[in-house]
Amino acid sequence: MEPWIKLDKTSGHGNDTLSISATENTGRDMRKGMVTIEGMGIRDKVTVTQAGKPEFVRIDSVLININDKTYTINGMLNSSKLTFSLGAGNFDINIPTTYEAYGQKTKNGDTILADFGAVTEIDFSITLTFSDNEIESGNENEKSRILIITTENGINESINLKKMEII
pLDDT tens sequence across 12-43:
887 888 899 999 999 999 999 999 998 888 89
* Closest to 34 measured CA to CA, from 19, 52, 48, 51: 48
Q: Kind of pairing, strands 143-151 and 122-130?
A: unpaired
Contacts for 135 with CB less than 8 Å, ≥ 6 apart: 66, 141, 142, 143, 163, 164, 165
Supply the pLDDT for residue 134.
52
Query: Above 80 in pLDDT, residue 63?
Result: no
* Closest to 144 measured CA to CA, from 124, 164, 128, 117: 164
State in words which class domain 57-164 has: mainly beta
Supply the pLDDT for residue 2.
94
Query: Above 80 in pLDDT, residue 139?
Result: no
The answer to whether 64 touches 71, Cβ cutoff 8 Å, is yes
The answer to whether 124 touches 82, Cβ cutoff 8 Å, is yes
Query: Above 60 in pLDDT, residue 52?
Result: yes
Q: pLDDT-derived band of residue 156, with 50, 70 and 90 as boundaries?
A: very high
Query: Above 60 in pLDDT, residue 133?
Result: no
Query: Above 70 in pLDDT, residue 72?
Result: yes
CA distance 139 to 148: 27
* pTM over 0.85, yes/no: no
Residue ranges per domain, the chain? 5-50, 57-164
Query: Above 80 in pLDDT, residue 138?
Result: no
Query: Above 70 in pLDDT, residue 8?
Result: yes
